[in-house]
Structure 1
Amino acid sequence: MARNQLIAVVGGFSLLLAGAVSAAAQAPQSYRGLFDVAARKAFLAQDSASDARKACLAIEADPAWGHLEVIKGLSSTQGYGTDRSGAAYAWATMVLSGRALAGDRNAESSLKALLLKWADAGAFAQTEQVHDAYYALKRLLLPTVVAFSIIRDDLTADESKRVEAWIDPLVRRIDQTFDGDVDLNNHRYLADSVLMTWGSMIGDEALYRKGMDRFHTILSDSRGDGSLPLETRRGSRSLWYMRQSLSSMTVMGEVAAGHGDDLLRETVGDTGDRRSFTTILSFWMNGLTNPIMVNAYAAENYIPGPEEDFMKTDFGFLQNRGNGRHYLAFLEALAVRQPDSYALRRSAALLAREGSDERPLIDEFIGGNATCFWSRS
């Protein structure tokens, strides 16, 4: 999309917008996991021709997914990037979970068979204990946990026990300290979003609190303008990594909502320097229209990725990627909230402009087919 169009969508607002989501914005909810699976299934069943249901079924299932070779472990990689050997498994899991949510019985059976096969084979158990291999594991675990939540009630007690016995030690394993920045940046946010989601599902309060505590830590670590120090120093990809952080924070917020905890309304700081989720969200969107405001931080150029010039902001997250993932998928969850802050209204406008023609929006960082999980149209 042309830059002037983007500016028209998210520009024209003041730089510091930190409006909070009011307590009345969300109806009381009670569910375990990323979203209310039963309620979502009922919503999708109401209208077989709805856009939401079409989004769930938009990607065809591939029979070959049943023959995917089980990956025993993930490994470190040379240079920039992480082990992507599990990409096909993740894609299959995300597509099948969306289809199963919409009532596709064949997809449900395929997803059940896939999870049981990989569970019984102990997939990923031999993952190398280094941060980039663990990062790859975290990306695979979130859609796996969400997929399990969607079909769990349709599994026998024995089947459910087998899948849970596979996932649980893997989730606990990523609660790992490597004594570096990866223990504090978006890598850690992703880990705690997985821990929180799984803890919610199985009723483990300690795991659930990991996400709650991390969310508050992120707010505390943010600058007054909403920027995240460890992400905005990343050169041309400063906004890229801010987006990844916001995605994990959104997962935490959605899981918390099921427990009656409104994390997106939480604030930290003294009077006149209050920061919230929307402060961080606003900084990111302001950076889209005015990258110059990020450059002072980005100039540090710490592990910038493929582009060495920090002035050339990477906006690749604004469009569907070649592998089918869309990094704006997290905005689907925000768009259905009552837009009683400028930040949420702006994010909904950004989603409409940048993502509406590319739906369904699917991404590991939000757990799968976000359009299927949250869209109300």
Structure 2
Amino acid sequence: MKKVAPTFMAVRHGLAILALFLASGAILPLDTLAAGSQPMDSGYQGLFDVAARKAFLAQKSSSDARTACLAVDADAKWMDIDVIKGLTTTEGYGTDRSGNQYAFAVMVLSGRALAGDKRAEDMLKRFLLKWADAGAFSETEKVHDAYYALKRLMLPTVVAFSIIRDGLSDEDKQKLVAWIDPLVRRTDQIFEGSVDYNNHRYLADSVLMAWGSLTGDRALYQKGIDRFRIILDDARADGSLPLETRRGARALWYMRQSLTSMTVMAEVANGAGDNLFDSTAAADGSKKSMWTVLSYWMNGMTNPILVNAYSAENYIPGPEQDFLKPDFGFLENRGNGRHYLAFLEAIAVREPENFPGRRASALLEREGANERPLIDEFAGGNATCFWRQG
């Protein structure tokens, strides 16, 4: 097992080379993107273009996408959820789930607000302001699993803010920014362990990147660009991620988690004109891309023997101790309104399609179509509402 450590190659290409790549439509190496291809005030929008999506949903009043946005009813009782001052460490395997109700309320209300439900939009504003006024999550324990829970909550919070931002008064906008910004920045914490390099870190950088994009903070946005490059550099030639595939029965579970954060980073970058989906790692001269990683994950589901040599390490495997019994629980609704295949909604609508993309689309239709809308914190909320075109 190779040792995975953060790496970063100095920028070698100037803006002239970047312009040539953009003009030709060629795949962009990530060291080019690291120089930054957009000015601070151009193209930054968060996870997706809220105005464009609102317009699409308004025009497609009978579409499956709009139906997905409105599929889950808003519950007035959410306004009475007790504010959580801080997340804490947990005993044994798992993470603090005390914020699950908060996250679900935010994800449902943000989808409904995106589709034009004014009552839900008003409720979301009041809900977030209530938690902001109370300093929610500000007392989160400084340990990696508590911070992991914080990262999960911050991504849908950032997305929700992007959806309601234009309808806020300046005072309310400043209040929410003053609450969200320090919490997002706390997710950049280094713990001197593997969580600084694995899916925990990918999630952190997806949050930082989304917030940086939304607020025009180039340094935060750049963290996602840099991390995406590191992930591809660290991936094996077959697309497997060493720190995830060692996880025994949950090797593919954590590969999927990593792919979700990669998808979020790629979607955020798309709004700034940076194409991470088709970009390749360059440090070792390979042509690894996100599609390589995605293909390995899907190949592993079809033929688990491809994973066994790595998963035999059985490092913190989760509930199942036998690495020969892969956990495919991510293919099903988790019973709490969430679905781990939500990220595939973004991949399924990518144009032009490639073979891994078509396979992902088929997987989504086979395993998730009957369970839409697909909602998940790691994807930022109601992914069917955010990306579905039909």
The verdict on a shared fold, with TM-score over 0.5 as the criterion, is: yes
Q: In structure 1, which of residues 249, 271, 287 is the aligned counterpart of residue 300 of structure 2?
A: 287
**SS of match in other structure, 1:265:** coil
Q: In structure 2, which of residues 195, 208, 218 is the aligned counterpart of residue 182 of structure 1?
A: 195
- 1:251 counterpart residue number: 264
Q: Quick check: 1:367 aligned with 2:380? A: yes
**CA deviation after TM superposition for structure 1 residue 274, in Å:** 1.8
Aligned residues: 354
Q: Percent identity?
A: 71
Residues 199-227 of structure 1: per-residue CA shift (max 9 Å, x gap) = 00111000000000000000000000000
Residue 236 of structure 1 aligns to which amino acid in structure 2? A
Residue 81 of structure 1 aligns to which amino acid in structure 2? G
Q: Quick check: 1:344 aligned with 2:344? A: no
Which has the higher mean CA deviation after the structures are superposed, 226-235 or 261-270?
261-270
Unaligned segments of structure 2, at least 5 residues: 1-23, 28-37
CA contact 2:233–2:284 (8 Å) conserved in 1:
no
Q: Measured at CA, do residues 298 and 60 of structure 1 come closer, stay the same or move farther in structure 2, by a change above 3 Å?
A: same
Residue 243 of structure 1 aligns to which amino acid in structure 2? R
- 2:5 counterpart residue number: none
**CA deviation after TM superposition for structure 1 residue 270, in Å:** 7.4
Q: Measured at CA, do residues 364 and 58 of structure 1 come closer, stay the same or move farther in structure 2, by a change above 3 Å?
A: same
Residue 87 of structure 2 aligns to which amino acid in structure 1? L
Q: Quick check: 1:242 aligned with 2:242? A: no
CA contact 2:65–2:384 (8 Å) conserved in 1:
yes
Query: Within 2, Cα distance between the matches of 1:288 and 1:337?
Result: 22
Q: Quick check: 1:135 aligned with 2:148? A: yes
**CA deviation after TM superposition for structure 1 residue 23, in Å:** 4.1
- 2:17 counterpart residue number: none
**CA deviation after TM superposition for structure 1 residue 48, in Å:** 1.5
CA contact 1:328–1:361 (8 Å) conserved in 2:
yes
Q: Measured at CA, do residues 232 and 216 of structure 1 come closer, stay the same or move farther in structure 2, by a change above 3 Å?
A: same
Q: In structure 1, which of residues 109, 119, 126 is the aligned counterpart of residue 122 of structure 2?
A: 109
The 5-angstrom pairing of residues 25-40 of structure 1 reads 30-40=43-53
- 2:288 counterpart residue number: 275
Residue 346 of structure 1 aligns to which amino acid in structure 2? R
CA contact 2:233–2:283 (8 Å) conserved in 1:
no
Q: Measured at CA, do residues 340 and 271 of structure 1 come closer, stay the same or move farther in structure 2, by a change above 3 Å?
A: farther
CA contact 1:171–1:198 (8 Å) conserved in 2:
yes
**SS of match in other structure, 2:299:** helix
**SS of match in other structure, 1:252:** helix
CA contact 1:190–1:248 (8 Å) conserved in 2:
yes
Query: Within 2, Cα distance between the matches of 1:127 and 1:82?
Result: 13
Residues 267-317 of structure 1: per-residue CA shift (max 9 Å, x gap) = 124798420000000000000100110000000000000000000000000
Q: Quick check: 1:311 aligned with 2:327? A: no
The 5-angstrom pairing of residues 116-155 of structure 1 reads 116-155=129-168
- 2:87 counterpart residue number: 74
Query: Within 2, Cα distance between the matches of 1:339 and 1:350?
Result: 18
Which has the higher mean CA deviation after the structures are superposed, 300-309 or 340-349?
340-349
Query: Within 1, Cα distance between the matches of 2:313 and 2:26?
Result: 42
Q: Quick check: 1:198 aligned with 2:211? A: yes
- 1:299 counterpart residue number: 312
CA contact 2:44–2:216 (8 Å) conserved in 1:
no
Residues 51-88 of structure 1: per-residue CA shift (max 9 Å, x gap) = 11000000001110011110000000000000000000
**CA deviation after TM superposition for structure 1 residue 235, in Å:** 0.1
Query: Within 2, Cα distance between the matches of 1:126 and 1:271?
Result: 43
CA contact 1:339–1:345 (8 Å) conserved in 2:
no
After superposition, the CA RMSD in angstroms is: 1.6
- 2:366 counterpart residue number: 353
**SS of match in other structure, 1:304:** coil
Residues 73-117 of structure 1: per-residue CA shift (max 9 Å, x gap) = 000000000000000000000000000000001100110000000
Query: Within 2, Cα distance between the matches of 1:111 and 1:288?
Result: 38
Query: Within 1, Cα distance between the matches of 2:271 and 2:284?
Result: 29
CA contact 2:375–2:384 (8 Å) conserved in 1:
yes
Query: Within 1, Cα distance between the matches of 2:200 and 2:284?
Result: 30
- 2:222 counterpart residue number: 209
**CA deviation after TM superposition for structure 1 residue 332, in Å:** 0.3
Unaligned segments of structure 1, at least 5 residues: 1-21
CA contact 1:23–1:262 (8 Å) conserved in 2:
no
**SS of match in other structure, 1:275:** coil
Residue 222 of structure 2 aligns to which amino acid in structure 1? R
Query: Within 2, Cα distance between the matches of 1:272 and 1:86?
Result: 43
